[in-house]
Structure 1
């Protein structure tokens, strides 16, 4: 009897292992978790998220979440970042212990996947009903007796006759064959939003922004290729970037083409507004087109002639190109761009008695390389 039940127990064990593997494969979150030693692991956080969702997370695409835990002044703070069709979203949670921080982070991730996770607690799996199996040893076989044919014995006084199974004989060692039930499973730990010290603002977070500084290269605005520098402030709305900034191409000295002894100094100050779209997003890389409109002032000073002078003119141009971003160490990113521009007006620098000495090219070439910090 005992050997006959062993295969069924093995089959049940393998089935439970298979269910556990399926549950792990259908997790509702892909978590990249960075935390100090002693904090919950990424596997523990993912398991708590799946428990809170109660299987509802497996019905959708897993949510990509990046989390970084830092300790500051005896408290723990985690920054959660997700990226979706509307762009990056961030949440910050603070707690006194890393364990409480992990529970709070799991709760927030579960709410990102299913906002009704608080209103509807996760279903609990009822414990498997276990019955005690009693194995009673067979009674010893009786010794066969000789069979004799003879007259039937006289009828005795009739008694009541009952048909049914005879009760098993009493066995003092019967408890030795009893399978002991496994101890009851502990109740799952529930995360109560009112008991976890969260510092989550009820208002949606503001759109992320970035501040960048860049080196510039220009071909066409001056008589010779030149370099400059600039800065810009960006606002992210989904996959789009709105940008405003300033640039400066410092003074360059160039000779007049028809008078070797005369020279001119020229510089250009610009302000621009533009927009970019990150059509290709493969974190930590982004690539997309950009358009920009710029306005500024170009000015020049002449020297080496009988009547030196200076002049200035307005500068207007539109440009288009592409931009590549590499977030190599969050929140710092490398930004590179390449494009072309067309002046809306063509300022001409002229010297009295010499005529025009410089006119901007009808097509400009632009390149940029810089660093930006997102916040």
Structure 2
């Protein structure tokens, strides 16, 4: 097991132990902490913050912090610390030769963000074991597992996405297209709207005459999903309600005509997300489409009318894209 793997396991175990403790009251600090092997852990940072403040914090909205302490060379360490307090977010990078000193610096910075009137870096450092928290006091911090994606995120965000999709059953042949979406990211919930269109298909249904039809389809709709985070991933069920439009135009026949038709479609499926960067994530979906009252396309060939195509009652669609999450 390498240092990063050992770290991940440690953080999850510590977090699980503290969650039951923290859920009893709102915590003024949510801390996500990653540290190289042999460096102070999240419990150390929280204890130092408690010692520095020495009293319940006064900041009304609480503080959310994330620290990544890693070894970058021989006897050289780097700390990236992000602190969010009262809708203001600050990220700083500190380098040093001692990871213990960097952890101490993180505790001081977090303490100042919680309560500038009480936190003082010049106070004499105490041994963590020397101060026992009062049993009746509300918890100062909630330790957050590495895979929990919520601490530094504002309650509501906007996600703008684009991507491509392939599907079968809605068109005469396997179809492909592109889509765009806009959604509210409400922590684990996603609620939004989408628009999509499929590339034109021109199947020939009467080779002897060269007669066929061109199909153009696009859809608009709304969707919702509930996501369960698992490390950098999130998985969950999703559903859409769409209105599908189709334009059909004949060719290879005398006096070809075009016609528009539309029908509602229910969509049930699963959604997967993968965080690629701080504000960028990949999104994939696998869906079952359930169209209602689909049309029958008939081609008027010379001397007869020929049945051409009717969309399937159950269709499949797979999509993949990317989203930018704001702010």
TM-score by length of structure 2 reads 0.61
Task: Identify unmatched segments of 5+ residues in structure 2.
Answer: 1-16, 23-28, 36-40, 58-62, 70-79, 96-101, 126-152
1:292-312, Cα deviation, whole Å (9 max, x unpaired)? 011131011111112211111
CA contact (8 A) 1:45 1:103 kept: no
C-alpha distance 240-287 of structure 1, shift in aligned 2 (>3 A): same
The answer to whether structure 1 residue 316 and structure 2 residue 316 are counterparts is: no
Q: What is the distance in 2 between the residues matched to 1:358 and 1:305? A: 17
Q: Tell me the secondary structure at the aligned position of residue 223 of structure 1.
A: coil
Structure 2 residue aligned with 1:187, among 106, 116, 123?
A: 123
Contact 1:292-1:319 within 8 A present in 2 as well = yes
- 1:365 correspondence with 2:313: no
In the TM superposition, 1:1-375 aligns within 5 A as 30-32=31-33, 46=46, 48-52=48-52, 54=54, 65-67=65-67, 79-80=82-83, 91-93=88-90, 103-108=108-113, 111=114, 187-188=123-124, 207-256=156-205, 261-278=210-227, 280-352=228-300, 353-375=304-326
Query: Residues 46 and 106 of structure 1 are in contact (CA less than 8 Å); yes or no, is this contact kept in structure 2?
Result: no
The CA RMSD measured in Å over matched residues stands at 4.1
Give the gaps of 5 or more residues in structure 1.
1-24, 35-40, 58-62, 70-76, 83-88, 112-116, 125-185, 190-203
- C-alpha distance in structure 1 between counterparts of 2:34 and 2:88, whole Å: 14
Considering Cα pairs closer than 8 Å and 6+ residues apart, tell me whether 1 or 2 has the greater RCO. 2
Contact preservation (8 Å) 1:297, 1:312: yes
Tell me how many residue pairs correspond in the alignment: 241
Task: Work out the CA distance in 2 between the residues paired with 1:48 and 1:56.
Answer: 14
Compare the two structures and name the one with the higher strand fraction.
Answer: 2
Q: Deviations over 1:74-131 (max 9, x none)?
A: xxx974479xxxxxx9751389x999998554444xx5xxxxx689x69x9xxxxxxx
> Residue 343 and residue 102 in structure 1: after superposition, are their counterparts in 2 closer, same or farther (change >3 A)?
same
**Alpha-carbon distance change, 259 to 289 in structure 1, aligned in 2, over 3 angstroms:** farther
Secondary structure at the aligned position of 1:308 is classed as coil
Contact 1:227 1:249 in 2 (8 A): yes
Please give the alpha-carbon distance, in whole angstroms, between the structure 2 residues aligned to 1:30 and 1:305: 70
Q: Is the 8 A contact 1:93 1:105 kept in 2?
A: no
Alignment check: 8 A CA contact 1:274 1:291 kept: yes
SS in 2 for 1:50: helix
- Tell which structure's C-alpha radius of gyration is larger: 1
Q: Describe the SS at the equivalent of 1:354.
A: strand
TM-score scaled by length of structure 1: 0.54
Contact 1:52 1:107 in 2 (8 A): no
- Note the C-alpha offset of 1:336: 1.0
Q: Tell me how far 1:357 sits from its aligned partner.
A: 1.4
| Counterpart Cα distance in 1 of 2:206 and 2:68 | 61
User: 2: distance between equivalents of 1:277 and 1:90?
Assistant: 25
How far, CA to CA, are the matches of 2:177 and 2:255 in structure 1?
Answer: 30
Contact 1:217 1:366 in 2 (8 A): yes
